[in-house]
Amino acid sequence: MDILADKDALRRQYRQKREEYVVRLSPQDKELAFSAVPSPIKNLFQPDKSVAAFIPLPSEADPARLLTYAADIGCRTALPYVTGKAAPMQFLAWRPGDPLYDGPFNLQQPDSEAAIIHPDIVIVPLVAFDRSLNRLGQGAGHYDRALSLLSDSTAIGLAWSVQEHDFLPADPWDMPLDAILTEKEWITR
């Protein structure tokens, strides 16, 4: 069995699942999803912490409310910044309302001159997840590499419930998450 080919097939399957699910959501359900801040996140986000999230691609779950909550209670907030597939990802300071700039892969990114942040808490986008908190991402290794350098940080995957797969193939470099938040559930060990 070839894990990389498996992962590619799963990526295609779950990007499609995510898109099909999101186009069928009513505007109200889409608005309500991820709008409440669950208590485990309230406990984790404290004013002295830094929190990184992301600006979603079209069908990704949207962490905007979580990041706004973090900024409102006094956390430092940040977004990922990439220049291409091979270059490492960094987290740069960004507050809700600050300007965004077009980046590669249709991403909206912070100002390239913004301060580098080493986030205590990272809200992580994903293509698929499983109950063991394994994650399948976009395949460039951006989050695996960044999280391996942030060993003391808490990584929380954000996903639609339909992105759950029974058992994801895991490579040695895959960084498991500490928890996953879906529109229905808080999943942790």
Ligand X SMILES: Nc1nc2c(c(=O)[nH]1)N(C=O)[C@@H](CNc1ccc(C(=O)N[C@@H](CCC(=O)O)C(=O)O)cc1)CN2
Interface residues with ligand ATP (CB under 6 A) are 7, 136-145, 148, 171, 173-174
Please state the closest distance from residue 169 (CB atom) to ligand X, in A.
Answer: 18
Do residues 54 and 110 lie in contact, with contact meaning Cβ atoms separated by under 8 Å?
no
Q: Which is nearer to ligand X, 55 or 159 (CB)?
A: 55
Token pair, residue 158, equals 């954000």
Q: What angle do CA 31, 81, 104 make, to 5 degrees?
A: 85
In single-letter form, the type of residue at position 146 comes to A
**Smallest distance, ligand ATP to C-beta of residue 82, A:** 10
Does the protein bind ligand X through residue 168 (CB under 6 A)? Answer: no
Residue placing its CB nearer to ligand ATP in the complex, 89 or 114: 89
How far is it, in rounded angstroms, from Cα 79 to Cα 162? 25
Q: Which of 22, 25, 37, 56 binds ligand X (CB under 6 A)?
A: 56
- Dihedral of the alpha carbons of 176, 182, 184, 189, in degrees to the nearest 10: 20
138 binds ligand X (CB under 6 A): yes
In terms of CB distance, is 111 or 144 closer to ligand ATP?
144
Tokens 């996903």 locate to 159
**At closest approach, how far in Å is the CB of 119 from ligand X?**
13
Task: Tell me which residue of 23, 5, 2 sits closest to 13, measured CA to CA.
Answer: 5
Which residue number, 62 or 178, has a Cβ lying nearer to ligand X? 62
Q: Of 89 and 117, which has the nearer Cβ to ligand X?
A: 89
Residue 105 contacts ligand X per CB under 6 A? yes
Separation CA 102–CA 108 (nearest Å) = 5
Q: How far is the CB of 43 from ligand X (least distance, A)?
A: 25
CB neighbour class for 108 (10 Å; exposed up to 12, middle 13-18, buried from 19): middle
